[in-house]
Chains A and B, each alone.
Chain A
Amino acid sequence: DTAVSQTPKYLVTQMGNDKSIKCEQNLGHDTMYWYKQDSKKFLKIMFSYNNKELIINETVPNRFSPKSPDKAHLNLHINSLELGDSAVYFCASSHGRNRGKNTEAFFGQGTRLTVV
């Protein structure tokens, strides 16, 4: 009964390759996110989608392209991978603003991306 699931859990790839990370949530949430966590554990938002519409793009390089085929899925495609892309990427979802109030985000287990 995984609420937010992302695949793969580990991803090792060479520089210059293109890779995708998939995310699915079964919580019925309208809003989904991608976060990047660096080696110092700092969590930074990358993108946010609400009902398949991009609402937040935090000046992420164009090599990163999120895609939301429906509100339960938010995939992340990365082109021309660079060494600096190595990090743990977390998918999350929430109700967003529910009855005018913010609600908490639920996170997946993360995808550890290593670019060599």
Chain B
Amino acid sequence: GESVGLHLPTLSVQEGDNSIINCAYSNSASDYFIWYKQESGKGPQFIIDIRSNMDKRQGQRVTVLLNKTVKHLSLQIAATQPGDSAVYFCAENIRNSGGSNYKLTFGKGTLLTVNP
């Protein structure tokens, strides 16, 4: 089965608030994680990534936190804007069984709605 999942399928916030989207993963061997944003009618768009040798990484208005102890990943969006409304996916790179190939496995996604 899939090893990446999300706690909250939907999240509604007020414009200007901070948003936190959570993700749990079960493959302790995963060494690379990505957050994607998917707007309606578009493909997933890369937001930020983090490698397993880090526990925090910051981008512009976004921060990803990685807790390997409890296999938890979160995406924090500061000062959320209406343009942030989208489905957010966490994804992990899992090594294919028996080989050196990796596949990007996605979680179920969280729909973020930003109210003006």
User: Which positions in A face B, CB cutoff 8 Å?
Assistant: 4, 33, 40-45, 48, 50, 55-56, 58, 90, 92, 94, 96-97, 101-102, 104-110
Cβ of B60 under 8 Å from chain A: no
In the complex, how many angstroms separate the beta carbon of A99 from the nearest chain B beta carbon?
A: 13
Stretch with Cβ within 8 A of A (4 or more), from B21-29, B69-77, B99-107: B99-107
Q: A105-B34, A107-B43 are in contact. List 9 more A-B contacts (CB 8 A).
A: A4-B43, A41-B87, A43-B89, A43-B109, A55-B99, A97-B102, A101-B51, A106-B46, A109-B41
Are A104's CB and B106's CB within 8 A? Answer: no
Q: Which residue of B lies closest to A90 (CB)?
A: B43
Q: Which residue of B lies closest to A112 (CB)?
A: B41
Interface size on B, residues (CB 8 A): 27
A44-B106, A56-B103 given as contacts; is B42 within 8 A of A110 (CB)? yes
Tell me the number of A-to-B contacts counted with CB atoms below 8 Å: 60
Give me 27 A-to-B residue pairs in the complex whose CB atoms sit less than 8 angstroms apart, sorted by A's number: A33-B104, A41-B38, A41-B87, A42-B106, A43-B89, A43-B109, A44-B106, A45-B104, A48-B101, A48-B103, A55-B99, A55-B101, A56-B101, A90-B44, A92-B104, A96-B102, A97-B100, A101-B32, A101-B51, A102-B31, A102-B32, A102-B102, A104-B34, A104-B49, A105-B34, A105-B104, A107-B45
Cβ of B56 under 8 Å from chain A: no
In the complex, the 3 A-B pairs of residues with the closest C-beta atoms, listed nearest first: A107-B43, A102-B32, A43-B106
Bound CA span A112–B107, Å: 21
Which residues of B have CB within 8 Å of A40?
Answer: 108
